[in-house]
Amino acid sequence: MPKIKTNRVKYPEGWELIEPTLRELEQKMREAESDTHEGKRKCEALWPIFKISHQKSRYIYDLYYRRKAISKELYDFCIEQKHADASLIAKWKKPGFERLCCVRCMQPKDHNFGTTCVCRVPKHLREEKVIECIHCGCRGCASGDS
pLDDT at 43: 85
**Position 123 confidence tier, pLDDT thresholds 50, 70, 90:** confident
C-alpha distance from residue 56 to each of 21, 37, 84, 130, 134 (Å): 9, 23, 6, 26, 21
Q: At what angle do helices 15-34 and 72-80 cross, to 10 degrees?
A: 20
Q: Among residues of the chain, what percentage have pLDDT more than 90?
A: 55
**pLDDT of 135:** 87
- As a whole number, mean pLDDT of residues 93-101 equals 92
Q: Please write the tens of the pLDDT for every residue from 103-118.
A: 988 888 888 788 888 8
Across 3-12, 91-100, 112-121, the highest mean pLDDT is recorded for 91-100
Q: Among the residues of the chain, which ranges form H helices? A: 15-34, 47-61, 72-80, 86-92
DSSP state of 42: T
Q: Are the beta carbons of 32 and 118 closer than 8 angstroms?
A: no
* pTM assigned to the model: 0.87
Under the phi-then-psi rule, with left for phi > 0, alpha for psi from -120 to 50, and beta for the rest, what region is 70?
beta
Task: Give the pLDDT of residue 29.
Answer: 95
Q: Residue 59: which pLDDT band, with cuts at 50, 70 and 90?
A: very high
Q: How confident is the model at residue 146 (pLDDT cuts 50, 70, 90)?
A: low
Which residue in 33, 27, 26 sits closest to 48, CA to CA?
A: 33
pLDDT exceeds cutoff 90 at 92: yes
